[in-house]
Amino acid sequence: MNGNHVNGELLLFLKQDCETCQLVKPVVGELVNKGVPIQVYVQDDPNYYRDLSPLDDTSLKASFNWNIETTPTLIQTSGNGHSVRIEGWDKSGWQKLFGRKSLGSTLPDFRPGCGSKSREPGVYENLVANYGDSGIEAREITLGKWEDEMETCYERGWTDGLPVTPPTDARIWKMLQGTSRNPNEIIGKVPPNLAPITVEKAAINAVMAGCKPEYFPVVLTVLEAALDPIFTMHGLLCTTCFSSPIIVVNGPIAKSIGMNWGMNALGQGNRANATIGRALQLIIRNVGGGIPGDLDRSTLGGPGKFTFCFAEDETDPTWESLSVSRGFAEGENAVTLFQGDGIQGFIDQRSQTPEQITKSLASSLLAVGNPKLAEFTNALLVLSPEHYEIYKKEGWGRSKITEALHQEMARPGSELIQGANGIGEGIDPLRVDEMVNKFWPEGLLIVRAGGQAGLFSAICAGWTGGRFRHESQPVTKKIMV
């Protein structure tokens, strides 16, 4: 581990803030007094062990280089890489190593040690960055001594308008520990510039978005879904429409990483919800070059272009989750990306039967895009628990609800053709005699989410690119943790 040491050397790592270290202090003192050459390293207060002529390792560099996880750790070095290592106090081990049967005879046989300071939260990644090889290959941006990191990120054009976490090596390395994937692996090409993106670049942007490492597998899967050609991220980014990816997370990982599917699920305040969606947007901006006003040509944009990500409420076993309805196994972690706009609130506080609430929802869903457009966009319905309860008490599940909504939304073509009712917009006049569905059978996605109180659901209109039914579709992908 450390080339400066010769075969057979004795090294001991201690800290003052460790009862076991304090326990062995007299033993080590006895050895030192008898001329046994032990090099003591102290992680916190060298003065406390001054009788042992210690080296100051408050920088933790030696502890890092020797990969110390516990104090005390006693090491007998070896040229062949198989050094002897005793962690904590092990009387027989110490006696054997020093060849002294009476060593520490008044002490207990064993005492576990304490965690090494080099392994404390927030420390190790900084030691990797300072003394190790982080393996990070992205271009370095060296700041001036007095430069503000946050302002630099703005200056460089790396943010969405909100502050980002400055991407330092320590943070990036830590993010990369969230996945077993190779940092050099190329995930795909990010539009609009179709620039290749590696796992490392994704990690840098995930850091900036504010993600924790445990979110990173979700971010990578979200990215893969976005780059699936059928998702048409290129068009979605460059469109003049309002739309952007809406991300729904399914499976136990949502709970594991603390996502919100309850109160305010579509709003602010949850780190995982906020940052996973933001990571994708920052990747599109920074790696893909999707800059608003440049190649992002949205007429008005929408708040979802900052981030729009939430989990589905899977706590009710009567509800089939979105990912299961899209062919994934129950209990499987998955993300679904939908090309959609911000929300249109749906309010119904009086309907009491499934039939009533279906008619009510259908009438609102018909407004998606334009009431006179049909089979033109998809839609995402976020069904709140109280609205679902109306269905549930009569035994209606996902498929029955979906089917009933489609039936309720079918309308005579004569009402929808261009010019009908004095409105220019509308469907092809050739369909005047047809009964026309609002959405294709696969075009209405339903997710259950929201707080337990409130007869309010939400409709997210789909992007107009969805009119090319077989060319642009929502995408669901399994998360590889």
**Cα–Cα dist 366/343, whole Å:** 14
Which of 289, 412, 451, 454 touches other proteins (CB under 8 A)?
289
Q: How far is the CB of 196 from other proteins (least distance, A)?
A: 7
292 near other proteins, judged by CB under 8 A: no
167 near other proteins, judged by CB under 8 A: yes
Which of 141, 263, 410, 480 touches other proteins (CB under 8 A)?
141
> 111-140: which residues touch other proteins (CB under 8 A)?
136, 138-140
- Distances from the Cα of 373 to the Cα of 363, 415, 418, 436, 443, angstroms: 13, 10, 9, 10, 14
Residue type, 292: P
* Cα–chain center distance at 382: 22
Which of 41, 49, 64, 158 touches other proteins (CB under 8 A)?
158
**By three-state DSSP, how is residue 288 classified?**
coil
166 near other proteins, judged by CB under 8 A: yes
For CA atoms 62, 65, 70, 74, give the dihedral sign.
negative
Stretch near other proteins under the rule CB under 8 A, chosen from 60-68, 198-206, 369-377, 439-447: 198-206
Q: Give 134 or 273: the residue with its C-beta nearer to other proteins.
A: 134
Q: Give 72 or 288: the residue with its C-beta nearer to other proteins.
A: 288
Q: Give 279 or 444: the residue with its C-beta nearer to other proteins.
A: 279
- Give the pair of three-digit tokens for residue 65: 């280089």
146 near other proteins, judged by CB under 8 A: yes
Q: How far is the CB of 172 from other proteins (least distance, A)?
A: 6
Strand partners for 119: none
Give ∠ CA 83-87-89 in degrees, rounded to 5: 125
The residue count of the chain comes to 481
Q: Which residue has the tokens 């054997």?
A: 96
Q: What is the dihedral of CA 448, 452, 456, 462, to 10 degrees?
A: -20
36 near other proteins, judged by CB under 8 A: no
286 near other proteins, judged by CB under 8 A: yes
- Write the DSSP symbol of residue 11: E
423 near other proteins, judged by CB under 8 A: no
175 near other proteins, judged by CB under 8 A: no
Instruction: Give 139: exposed, middle or buried? Use CB within 10 Å, 0-12, 13-18, 19+.
Output: exposed
Q: How far is the CB of 294 from other proteins (least distance, A)?
A: 12
Q: Give 134 or 325: the residue with its C-beta nearer to other proteins.
A: 134
Cis status of the peptide bond prior to 192, with omega within 30 of 0:
yes
Which of 95, 168, 177, 414 touches other proteins (CB under 8 A)?
168
Listed in sequence order, the DSSP H helices in 343-412 are 354-365, 385-392, 398-409
Q: How far is the CB of 187 from other proteins (least distance, A)?
A: 13
- Distances from the Cα of 201 to the Cα of 88, 187, 217, 287, 370, angstroms: 40, 10, 14, 8, 40
**Cα–Cα dist 293/123, whole Å:** 41
**By three-state DSSP, how is residue 111 classified?**
strand
Q: Give 101 or 139: the residue with its C-beta nearer to other proteins.
A: 139
172 near other proteins, judged by CB under 8 A: yes
142 near other proteins, judged by CB under 8 A: yes
**By three-state DSSP, how is residue 412 classified?**
strand
**By three-state DSSP, how is residue 317 classified?**
coil
Q: How far is the CB of 199 from other proteins (least distance, A)?
A: 13
Are 75 and 38 spatial neighbours (Cβ–Cβ below 8 Å)? no
> 203-232: which residues touch other proteins (CB under 8 A)?
204-205, 208
How many residues belong to the site for other proteins (CB under 8 A)? 37
> 60-119: which residues touch other proteins (CB under 8 A)?
none
Which of 87, 125, 169, 408 touches other proteins (CB under 8 A)?
169
Which of 58, 177, 193, 344 touches other proteins (CB under 8 A)?
193
150 near other proteins, judged by CB under 8 A: no
**Cα–Cα dist 96/29, whole Å:** 18
Q: How far is the CB of 164 from other proteins (least distance, A)?
A: 9
Which of 153, 199, 233, 379 touches other proteins (CB under 8 A)?
153
- The footprint of other proteins (CB under 8 A) covers 136, 138-147, 149, 152-153, 155-158, 166-169, 172, 190, 193, 195-197, 201, 204-205, 208, 282, 286-289
